[in-house]
A and B are shown apart, each in its own frame.
Chain A
Amino acid sequence: MAELFTGLATGTTYALVGLGIALIFQVTGVINFAQGDFVAVGGLLFAVLREDGFDTPVAAVLSIVLSTAIGILTYALVILPARRAGHDRLMILTIGVSIVLQGAALLVFGADSHFAPPFGPGRPLRFAGITLPSQYAWCAGVTAVVMVLLWLFLTRTPTGTAMRASAMDPDAARLTGISPERMGLLVFALAAGLAAIAGTVLAPLQPPDATIGVALGLKGFTAAVIGGLVSPIGAVAGGLVIGLVETYATGYLSSEYKDTLTFGLLLMVLLIRPGGLVRRGAGVDRV
Chain B
Amino acid sequence: MLRVEGLVAGYGAIEALHGVDLEVAGEETVALVGPNGAGKSTLFGVVSGLLRPWRGRVEFDGQDVTRWSAERRALAGLVLVPEGRRVFAGLSVEENLRLGAYRRARGRCVTDRATEVFDLFPRLLERRGQRAGTLSGGEQQMLAIGRALMGGPRLLLLDEPSLGLAPLAVREVADALARLIHGGVAVALVEQNAAVAFGLASRGYLLDRGEVVTSGPVEQLRDDKRVQAAYLGDTRG
Q: Decide if A161 touches B95 in the complex (CB within 8 Å).
A: yes
Q: A174-B71, A177-B71 are in contact. Are A161 and B99 (CB under 8 A)?
A: yes
Q: Decide if A176 touches B102 in the complex (CB within 8 Å).
A: yes
User: Can you pick out 10 interface pairs between chain A and chain B where the beta carbons lie within 8 Å of each other?
Assistant: A158-B102, A164-B90, A174-B70, A175-B148, A176-B151, A177-B74, A177-B75, A177-B151, A178-B71, A178-B103
Q: When chains A and B are docked, how far (Å) is the Cα of A283 from the Cα of B87?
A: 13
Q: Decide if B90 touches A282 in the complex (CB within 8 Å).
A: yes
Q: Decide if B90 touches A176 in the complex (CB within 8 Å).
A: no
User: In this assembly, does B67 line the interface, its C-beta being within 8 Å of a C-beta of chain A?
Assistant: no
Residues 137-161 of A at the B interface (beta carbon under 8 Å) = 158, 161
Q: Decide if B91 touches A176 in the complex (CB within 8 Å).
A: no
Q: When chains A and B are docked, how far (Å) is the Cα of A109 from the Cα of B79?
A: 51
User: In this assembly, does A285 line the interface, its C-beta being within 8 Å of a C-beta of chain B?
Assistant: yes
Considering the complex, give the chain B residue whose CB is closest to the CB of A172.
B86
Residues of A within 8 A of B104 (CB): 177
Q: Decide if A164 touches B91 in the complex (CB within 8 Å).
A: yes
Q: Decide if A169 touches B86 in the complex (CB within 8 Å).
A: yes
Q: When chains A and B are docked, how far (Å) is the Cα of A110 from the Cα of B143?
A: 57
Q: Decide if B147 touches A176 in the complex (CB within 8 Å).
A: yes
Residues 172-208 of A at the B interface (beta carbon under 8 Å) = 172-179
Q: Decide if B71 touches A165 in the complex (CB within 8 Å).
A: no
Q: Decide if B88 touches A178 in the complex (CB within 8 Å).
A: no
User: In this assembly, does B57 line the interface, its C-beta being within 8 Å of a C-beta of chain A?
Assistant: no
User: In this assembly, does A168 line the interface, its C-beta being within 8 Å of a C-beta of chain B?
Assistant: yes
Query: How many pairs of A and B residues are in contact by the CB < 8 Å rule?
Result: 77
Q: How far is the CB of B31 from chain A (nearest CB, A)?
A: 21
**Chain A contact residues, majority secondary structure:** helix
Considering the complex, give the chain B residue whose CB is closest to the CB of A159.
B102
Chain A contact patch, size range: 20 to 34
User: In this assembly, does A162 line the interface, its C-beta being within 8 Å of a C-beta of chain B?
Assistant: yes
Q: A179-B71, A282-B90 are in contact. Are A172 and B82 (CB under 8 A)?
A: yes
User: In this assembly, does A112 line the interface, its C-beta being within 8 Å of a C-beta of chain B?
Assistant: no
Q: Decide if A176 touches B99 in the complex (CB within 8 Å).
A: yes
User: In this assembly, does A55 line the interface, its C-beta being within 8 Å of a C-beta of chain B?
Assistant: no
Residues of B within 8 A of A168 (CB): 88-91
Considering the complex, give the chain B residue whose CB is closest to the CB of A283.
B90
User: In this assembly, does A171 line the interface, its C-beta being within 8 Å of a C-beta of chain B?
Assistant: yes
Q: Decide if A174 touches B49 in the complex (CB within 8 Å).
A: yes
Residues of A within 8 A of B147 (CB): 176
Residues of B within 8 A of A178 (CB): 71, 99, 102-103
Chain A to chain B: the 7 pairs with minimum beta-carbon distance, closest first: A285-B90, A174-B70, A172-B86, A177-B74, A283-B90, A177-B75, A165-B88
Considering the complex, give the chain A residue whose CB is closest to the CB of B80.
A175
Q: Decide if A175 touches B90 in the complex (CB within 8 Å).
A: no
Residues of A within 8 A of B91 (CB): 161, 164-165, 168, 285
Q: How far is the CB of B73 from chain A (nearest CB, A)?
A: 9
Considering the complex, give the chain A residue whose CB is closest to the CB of B110.
A158
Residues of B within 8 A of A285 (CB): 90-91
User: In this assembly, does B69 line the interface, its C-beta being within 8 Å of a C-beta of chain A?
Assistant: yes
Q: Decide if A175 touches B82 in the complex (CB within 8 Å).
A: yes
One digit per residue, 1 when the CB lies within 8 angstroms of any chain A CB and 0 when it does not, for chain B 100-139 equals: 1011100000000000000000000000000000000000
Q: Decide if B69 touches A179 in the complex (CB within 8 Å).
A: yes
Q: When chains A and B are docked, how far (Å) is the Cα of A165 from the Cα of B90?
A: 8
Residues of A within 8 A of B50 (CB): 171, 174-175
Q: When chains A and B are docked, how far (Å) is the Cα of A178 from the Cα of B91?
A: 15
Q: Decide if A176 touches B89 in the complex (CB within 8 Å).
A: no
